[in-house]
Amino acid sequence: MSVMDELTRVLDLEPIEVNLFRGVSPAEDRQRIFGGQVVAQALMAAYRTVDGPICHSLQSYFIRPGDPRQPVLYQIERSRDGKSFATRRVIAIQKGEQIFNMACSFQTLEAGYDHQSDMPDVAKPDTLVDEVITVGEELKDLPEAHRNWIRKRPIEMRPIDRQSLLNPTPKSSTQHVWLRAREDLGDDIALNQAMLAYASDYSLLGTAMRPHGASWMSGVQTASLDHILWFHRPTNFSRWHLYVQDSPSASGARGFNRGAIYREDGVLVASAAQEGLIRKR
Protein backbone atom coordinates (compact mmCIF):
# COMPACT_ATOMS: atom_id res chain seq x y z
CA MET A 1 0.00 0.00 0.00
CA SER A 2 1.41 3.41 -0.97
CA VAL A 3 1.69 6.23 1.58
CA MET A 4 -1.14 8.02 -0.22
CA ASP A 5 -3.36 4.93 -0.14
CA GLU A 6 -2.62 4.63 3.59
CA LEU A 7 -3.56 8.26 4.27
CA THR A 8 -6.74 7.95 2.19
CA ARG A 9 -7.64 4.88 4.26
CA VAL A 10 -6.99 6.80 7.48
CA LEU A 11 -9.33 9.59 6.33
CA ASP A 12 -12.12 7.11 5.49
CA LEU A 13 -13.71 7.04 8.95
CA GLU A 14 -15.82 4.18 10.24
CA PRO A 15 -19.40 5.16 11.20
CA ILE A 16 -20.24 3.84 14.67
CA GLU A 17 -23.57 5.50 15.43
CA VAL A 18 -25.42 8.62 14.31
CA ASN A 19 -22.95 11.53 14.63
CA LEU A 20 -20.17 9.19 15.86
CA PHE A 21 -17.16 7.98 13.85
CA ARG A 22 -13.98 6.03 14.51
CA GLY A 23 -10.59 6.96 13.07
CA VAL A 24 -7.26 5.12 13.19
CA SER A 25 -3.64 6.14 12.62
CA PRO A 26 -1.16 4.87 10.03
CA ALA A 27 1.21 2.07 11.00
CA GLU A 28 4.09 4.44 11.84
CA ASP A 29 6.48 4.65 14.77
CA ARG A 30 5.20 7.86 16.37
CA GLN A 31 5.01 8.93 20.00
CA ARG A 32 1.83 10.96 19.38
CA ILE A 33 -0.69 11.43 16.61
CA PHE A 34 0.33 14.03 14.02
CA GLY A 35 -1.86 17.11 14.54
CA GLY A 36 -2.68 17.49 10.86
CA GLN A 37 -4.14 13.99 10.87
CA VAL A 38 -6.62 14.83 13.64
CA VAL A 39 -7.64 18.07 11.90
CA ALA A 40 -8.19 16.22 8.62
CA GLN A 41 -10.12 13.36 10.24
CA ALA A 42 -12.31 15.76 12.21
CA LEU A 43 -13.11 17.66 9.01
CA MET A 44 -14.02 14.45 7.19
CA ALA A 45 -16.24 13.43 10.13
CA ALA A 46 -18.06 16.78 9.96
CA TYR A 47 -18.52 16.39 6.19
CA ARG A 48 -20.37 13.10 6.86
CA THR A 49 -23.15 15.13 8.53
CA VAL A 50 -23.74 17.82 5.89
CA ASP A 51 -25.34 17.47 2.47
CA GLY A 52 -24.15 19.96 -0.13
CA PRO A 53 -22.45 22.88 1.64
CA ILE A 54 -18.66 23.24 1.45
CA CYS A 55 -16.40 23.98 4.45
CA HIS A 56 -15.14 27.56 4.41
CA SER A 57 -13.50 27.70 7.86
CA LEU A 58 -12.44 25.59 10.81
CA GLN A 59 -11.05 26.51 14.22
CA SER A 60 -9.51 23.81 16.39
CA TYR A 61 -7.69 23.25 19.68
CA PHE A 62 -5.27 20.49 20.58
CA ILE A 63 -6.03 19.55 24.19
CA ARG A 64 -4.04 16.37 24.87
CA PRO A 65 -1.49 14.33 22.88
CA GLY A 66 -3.17 11.58 20.86
CA ASP A 67 -2.02 7.97 21.16
CA PRO A 68 -1.42 6.55 17.64
CA ARG A 69 -1.88 2.99 18.95
CA GLN A 70 -5.50 3.70 19.92
CA PRO A 71 -8.49 4.62 17.71
CA VAL A 72 -10.00 8.09 18.01
CA LEU A 73 -13.74 8.64 18.36
CA TYR A 74 -15.14 11.72 16.62
CA GLN A 75 -18.42 12.98 18.05
CA ILE A 76 -20.35 15.51 15.96
CA GLU A 77 -22.70 18.17 17.32
CA ARG A 78 -25.01 19.58 14.65
CA SER A 79 -25.09 23.17 15.83
CA ARG A 80 -27.08 24.66 12.96
CA ASP A 81 -28.43 23.88 9.50
CA GLY A 82 -29.49 27.09 7.74
CA LYS A 83 -30.40 27.93 4.16
CA SER A 84 -26.85 29.02 3.27
CA PHE A 85 -24.66 27.97 6.21
CA ALA A 86 -24.27 24.90 8.40
CA THR A 87 -22.19 24.75 11.59
CA ARG A 88 -20.70 21.70 13.27
CA ARG A 89 -18.68 21.03 16.42
CA VAL A 90 -16.38 18.00 16.47
CA ILE A 91 -15.00 16.45 19.66
CA ALA A 92 -12.17 13.91 19.38
CA ILE A 93 -12.04 11.40 22.25
CA GLN A 94 -9.47 8.85 23.38
CA LYS A 95 -9.60 6.80 26.59
CA GLY A 96 -12.68 8.73 27.71
CA GLU A 97 -11.03 12.16 27.44
CA GLN A 98 -11.09 14.95 24.87
CA ILE A 99 -7.84 15.24 22.95
CA PHE A 100 -9.06 17.82 20.40
CA ASN A 101 -12.10 19.86 19.43
CA MET A 102 -13.08 21.79 16.34
CA ALA A 103 -15.78 24.20 15.21
CA CYS A 104 -16.32 24.33 11.45
CA SER A 105 -18.67 26.20 9.16
CA PHE A 106 -20.02 25.17 5.75
CA GLN A 107 -21.59 27.31 3.04
CA THR A 108 -23.54 26.54 -0.08
CA LEU A 109 -21.45 27.76 -3.04
CA GLU A 110 -22.55 31.13 -4.38
CA ALA A 111 -21.15 33.97 -6.49
CA GLY A 112 -19.99 37.28 -5.00
CA TYR A 113 -17.23 39.87 -4.86
CA ASP A 114 -13.81 38.40 -5.63
CA HIS A 115 -10.27 39.65 -4.90
CA GLN A 116 -7.06 38.26 -3.43
CA SER A 117 -3.48 39.16 -2.56
CA ASP A 118 -0.74 38.38 -5.08
CA MET A 119 1.44 35.30 -4.76
CA PRO A 120 5.14 36.11 -4.11
CA ASP A 121 7.55 35.58 -6.99
CA VAL A 122 9.81 32.76 -5.74
CA ALA A 123 11.77 29.81 -7.12
CA LYS A 124 9.59 27.24 -8.88
CA PRO A 125 9.19 23.71 -7.49
CA ASP A 126 10.98 22.04 -10.41
CA THR A 127 14.18 23.89 -9.41
CA LEU A 128 14.04 22.55 -5.83
CA VAL A 129 14.58 19.19 -4.12
CA ASP A 130 12.12 16.99 -2.21
CA GLU A 131 12.64 17.65 1.50
CA VAL A 132 12.72 13.91 2.21
CA ILE A 133 15.99 13.76 0.23
CA THR A 134 17.65 16.76 1.89
CA VAL A 135 16.61 15.74 5.41
CA GLY A 136 17.65 12.17 4.73
CA GLU A 137 21.14 13.38 3.82
CA GLU A 138 21.34 15.54 6.94
CA LEU A 139 20.24 12.78 9.31
CA LYS A 140 21.92 9.81 7.62
CA ASP A 141 24.49 9.30 10.41
CA LEU A 142 21.95 9.30 13.24
CA PRO A 143 20.66 6.06 14.83
CA GLU A 144 17.60 4.55 13.16
CA ALA A 145 15.34 5.62 16.05
CA HIS A 146 16.10 9.28 15.26
CA ARG A 147 15.56 8.98 11.50
CA ASN A 148 11.83 8.22 11.33
CA TRP A 149 11.29 11.67 9.82
CA ILE A 150 13.08 10.52 6.66
CA ARG A 151 10.32 8.11 5.66
CA LYS A 152 8.46 8.98 2.50
CA ARG A 153 5.40 11.06 3.33
CA PRO A 154 2.09 11.39 1.47
CA ILE A 155 2.76 15.12 1.04
CA GLU A 156 5.73 16.14 -1.10
CA MET A 157 7.41 19.30 0.20
CA ARG A 158 10.08 21.42 -1.48
CA PRO A 159 11.15 24.27 0.80
CA ILE A 160 12.97 27.44 -0.22
CA ASP A 161 15.79 28.33 2.21
CA ARG A 162 15.27 25.24 4.37
CA GLN A 163 16.28 25.43 8.05
CA SER A 164 18.74 22.76 9.23
CA LEU A 165 17.31 20.44 11.88
CA LEU A 166 20.62 19.56 13.55
CA ASN A 167 22.48 22.86 13.20
CA PRO A 168 19.88 25.61 12.77
CA THR A 169 20.99 29.20 12.37
CA PRO A 170 18.88 32.37 12.72
CA LYS A 171 16.83 33.02 9.58
CA SER A 172 13.97 35.23 8.45
CA SER A 173 10.62 34.76 10.21
CA THR A 174 9.12 34.16 6.75
CA GLN A 175 9.42 30.92 4.81
CA HIS A 176 8.09 29.50 1.55
CA VAL A 177 7.39 25.82 0.90
CA TRP A 178 5.99 24.17 -2.22
CA LEU A 179 3.76 21.21 -1.39
CA ARG A 180 1.30 18.80 -2.97
CA ALA A 181 -0.21 15.34 -2.51
CA ARG A 182 1.98 12.66 -4.07
CA GLU A 183 -0.91 11.09 -6.02
CA ASP A 184 -4.01 12.36 -7.82
CA LEU A 185 -6.93 13.10 -5.49
CA GLY A 186 -9.54 13.69 -8.15
CA ASP A 187 -12.18 16.40 -7.83
CA ASP A 188 -13.71 15.50 -4.45
CA ILE A 189 -13.75 18.87 -2.61
CA ALA A 190 -13.95 17.33 0.88
CA LEU A 191 -10.97 15.01 0.29
CA ASN A 192 -8.88 17.80 -1.22
CA GLN A 193 -9.67 20.09 1.71
CA ALA A 194 -8.80 17.34 4.18
CA MET A 195 -5.45 16.70 2.46
CA LEU A 196 -4.69 20.43 2.46
CA ALA A 197 -5.61 20.61 6.16
CA TYR A 198 -3.34 17.64 6.86
CA ALA A 199 -0.42 19.25 5.02
CA SER A 200 -0.94 22.71 6.53
CA ASP A 201 0.32 21.49 9.93
CA TYR A 202 3.68 20.19 8.66
CA SER A 203 5.87 23.31 8.63
CA LEU A 204 3.82 26.14 10.11
CA LEU A 205 5.03 25.86 13.72
CA GLY A 206 8.67 25.79 12.65
CA THR A 207 8.31 29.30 11.24
CA ALA A 208 8.36 30.78 14.76
CA MET A 209 11.66 29.04 15.53
CA ARG A 210 13.53 30.31 12.49
CA PRO A 211 14.52 33.74 13.93
CA HIS A 212 15.96 32.01 17.00
CA GLY A 213 18.12 29.44 15.22
CA ALA A 214 16.14 26.59 16.77
CA SER A 215 14.39 23.41 15.65
CA TRP A 216 12.51 20.56 17.28
CA MET A 217 15.76 18.56 17.11
CA SER A 218 17.87 21.24 18.79
CA GLY A 219 16.48 21.16 22.32
CA VAL A 220 13.08 22.80 21.84
CA GLN A 221 9.83 21.23 23.04
CA THR A 222 7.13 21.86 20.43
CA ALA A 223 3.42 21.19 20.18
CA SER A 224 0.56 22.72 18.21
CA LEU A 225 -1.93 24.46 20.51
CA ASP A 226 -4.54 25.52 17.98
CA HIS A 227 -5.03 25.49 14.21
CA ILE A 228 -7.31 27.64 12.07
CA LEU A 229 -8.00 27.33 8.35
CA TRP A 230 -10.06 29.36 5.91
CA PHE A 231 -10.85 27.74 2.57
CA HIS A 232 -11.29 30.50 -0.01
CA ARG A 233 -11.60 28.54 -3.26
CA PRO A 234 -11.80 24.84 -4.20
CA THR A 235 -8.55 23.30 -5.45
CA ASN A 236 -6.99 20.03 -6.54
CA PHE A 237 -4.27 19.49 -3.95
CA SER A 238 -2.49 17.04 -6.25
CA ARG A 239 -1.07 20.13 -8.00
CA TRP A 240 1.75 22.25 -6.62
CA HIS A 241 0.79 24.85 -4.01
CA LEU A 242 3.00 27.52 -2.45
CA TYR A 243 2.71 27.77 1.35
CA VAL A 244 3.75 31.32 2.34
CA GLN A 245 4.34 31.41 6.11
CA ASP A 246 5.37 34.12 8.55
CA SER A 247 5.65 34.49 12.32
CA PRO A 248 4.80 38.00 13.58
CA SER A 249 5.37 37.16 17.24
CA ALA A 250 6.81 34.75 19.80
CA SER A 251 6.40 35.21 23.55
CA GLY A 252 5.59 33.24 26.68
CA ALA A 253 7.02 30.02 25.17
CA ARG A 254 4.46 30.31 22.34
CA GLY A 255 5.00 31.10 18.68
CA PHE A 256 2.29 32.62 16.48
CA ASN A 257 2.30 31.78 12.77
CA ARG A 258 0.27 32.67 9.69
CA GLY A 259 0.08 31.03 6.29
CA ALA A 260 -1.31 31.66 2.81
CA ILE A 261 -1.65 28.77 0.37
CA TYR A 262 -1.54 29.59 -3.33
CA ARG A 263 -2.05 27.31 -6.30
CA GLU A 264 0.90 27.32 -8.68
CA ASP A 265 -1.02 29.58 -11.08
CA GLY A 266 -1.26 32.23 -8.34
CA VAL A 267 -4.79 31.58 -7.06
CA LEU A 268 -5.11 31.94 -3.26
CA VAL A 269 -7.00 28.85 -2.09
CA ALA A 270 -6.62 28.92 1.72
CA SER A 271 -5.23 30.81 4.71
CA ALA A 272 -3.98 29.41 8.01
CA ALA A 273 -3.10 30.58 11.51
CA GLN A 274 -1.59 28.65 14.38
CA GLU A 275 -0.11 29.18 17.82
CA GLY A 276 2.22 26.54 19.15
CA LEU A 277 4.39 25.72 22.14
CA ILE A 278 8.09 26.44 21.58
CA ARG A 279 9.61 25.80 24.98
CA LYS A 280 13.38 25.93 25.41
CA ARG A 281 14.46 22.81 27.27
Q: What is the pLDDT of residues 79-107, one digit of tens each?
A: 999 999 999 999 999 999 999 999 999 99
* Pairwise CA distance, residues 229 & 57, whole Å: 6
Give the pTM.
Answer: 0.94
**Is the domain 1-113 a CATH 2.170.120.20 member?**
no
Query: Which residues is 166 bridged to in the sheet?
Result: none
* Pairwise CA distance, residues 138 & 4, whole Å: 25
Annotation says 221 is catalytic: no
Q: For residue 275, what pLDDT is reported?
A: 97
Q: For residue 150, what pLDDT is reported?
A: 60
Annotation says 274 is catalytic: yes
CATH topology classification for 123-281:
Thiol Ester Dehydrase; Chain A (3.10.129)
Q: For residue 261, what pLDDT is reported?
A: 98
Per annotation, catalytic residue among 41, 224, 247, 271: 224
CB 59 within 8 A of CB 228: yes
Q: For residue 165, what pLDDT is reported?
A: 86
149: pLDDT strictly greater than 70 = no
Q: For residue 73, what pLDDT is reported?
A: 98
Annotation says 2 is catalytic: no
Q: What is residue 203's three-state secondary structure?
A: coil
Instruction: Say if 1-113 and 123-281 have the same CATH topology.
Output: yes
Q: What is the pLDDT of residues 150-190, one digit of tens each?
A: 667 899 999 999 988 888 899 999 999 999 999 999 999 99
Closest alpha carbon to 129 in 157, 150, 154, 104? 157
* Pairwise CA distance, residues 243 & 175, whole Å: 8
- For the chain, domain boundaries: 1-113, 123-281
CA 6 to chain centre: 16
